[in-house]
Amino acid sequence: MDSVSVLTVTRRLLAFFRLTSYPVWAGLLLLLLLVQQLKTTATHVPLTVTEQAYISAHPVLSVCVDPDWLPFEGIDNNQQHVGIIADLLPLVASKAGLQIQLHPTKSWEESLLASKSGQCLALSALNQTPEREQWLIFTEPLLEDPNVLITRDDHPFISDIASLNNKTIALPSGTAMAELFARDFPNLTIVYTDSETQAMQMVSDGKVDLTLRSLIIAAHTIKNAGWYNLKVSGQVPGYSNQLRIGISQSEQTLRTILNHGIAALSEQERQQIMDRYLSLQVVSEVVTDYTLAYGLGILLLAVIGTSLFWMRRLSALNQQLSVMAQTDALTQLTNRHGLNLTLEKDLERAQRYQHPLSVMMIDIDHFKRVNDQYGHLTGDKVLVACSQLLKDNLRKSDIICRWGGEEFLVLCFETSQEQAAHLAELLLEKVRQHHFPEVDSVTMSAGVTQAMATDNPETLTQRADTLLYQAKNNGRNQVCVDSGIADLQPHTPATSA
C-alpha cells in the first residue's frame, strides 16, 4: 500500500466515523492502520532498481518444504506450513518485499523432485551439497544447528566416528547428511529410512547402532517422544546443519534479494522464533474447572521434571565427552590432547619458580615387527601391557600420556635430568623382565631431557624426541640423556635383550 492509498483509506474512515457515534473506535482503527503501514515500510530492505523490477514482475515466491521435519518445519492437516522455518521464511520474504506461496508435497523426496522439475522456485531450508548444486544455488545460512550422534543408552561414547567398524547408521534418504556420510565414512553401513522418526525408532529398537540428528530436534524429540533408552553419544565436527534457502540456478537475482532479507534478520528475531517452539509456553486464562487445572499443573510439573532430568543428563554426558576427548581409548592413559591442555602451564610454573622439570620420551622397540608378525590385536595387547607397566612404576606425582602410536611421554615434576634418567632405567628394566604371553619379551628406548629457561612445550618435547631417536640409533634398549644440560653419558643397561 503506497502513501496515496493510505491517505484515501484514511479520509474514507474519517468520513464514516463522523457519521457514527463511535469516535474512540475510529481513532483506534486509524492508529492501527498507520502503525501497520509504518511497520511494513520500516522492515523492507533497500533494493536496487533491478531487484525492485524483479519483485514487481515476480512478487510471489513458490516454495517446497519438508512436510515431516518438526520442530524445524512440517505441513499440518490444513496444508499449512508450520514450524521454525515456517516462521523465519515469511519474515525474511517480507523484509525483501516478497510473498510466500506453499507448494504442498507429501514427502521430502517429492519436494526435491518438484524443485528439479520447476514446480517451485525455492526449497525452504536445506544443507548445500555437491549433488544439490547440480540444479540449485544457495543463499547465506538461514539457521545453523550442530548434528549429534544418537545411540541406545548402553552404547559407548563415540570420540571418532571414522574409527567405528561393522556399525550401522540409519539416515533418511535424500538428506544432505546421507549424501555426505556415504562419501566420507565408508566404514559405516548406511540404512536408508523414509523419515528421521523412523531412523530414531530403528535405533531405539536395536535394529541399527546409531543415527545422526540435529541437536535441536534430538533434544525436542527424545523428550517429547519418550525415547528414554536413547542418548547423545558424540558430535561429528564439520557436519553441522547450515540451513540455506535453495533457489533454481536461473534465479540469481532472487538469491540476492533473499540474502538481503536474511542479512536484515536479527539474532533477537531468530531467538524469539526458536523460543516459541523449544521453550515452555505458559498461557494465562480463567480456569473454572479445577480438575482440569490440577491436571495441567501435574502435567507442567512432569514436563519441568523431565526437562531438568535431561539437562542433568546432558550435562553429565558433556562431562564424559570431555574426559573421553582427553583419554586414549586403548590404554586409558591421558592422550596428547589432554597433556597439551596443561603442559604449557606446568612448564611456565617450573620456569617461574626455577624448579626442575624433566621429560621422558619412551618408545617400544621394533613395534612394527610385532604387528607384522603377530597381528594388530596382539600389538594392542602389548601396548596396553607396556602402558600399565610404566604407569604402575611411576611416582604419583608423574604424568604419563600416550603421545602417539607406540610412543609415551612422561612429565617428572621436581626432578632433575639425572634423577629422571635413573627412573627411566628402572622403567626399561621392568619392561625387560616382564613376560608378554604372545611375544615373550619386549624392550623400550627412552630419551630424557630437562626443561631450560628458554623452552616452550614444542622445543622441550622435540628435544626429548630427538634424544629418543639417538637411543634408537645407538642400538635401542637404552636411555639417552641431553649432554648439553648435564655432563651425563648415555645410560646403557648392564644386560641387553
Residues with catalytic roles: 406
Cα 339 to chain center, whole Å? 23
Nearest to 246 by CA among 117, 112, 145, 144: 112
Nearest to 89 by CA among 335, 258, 226, 250: 258
Phi and psi torsions of 219, nearest 5°:
-65, -40
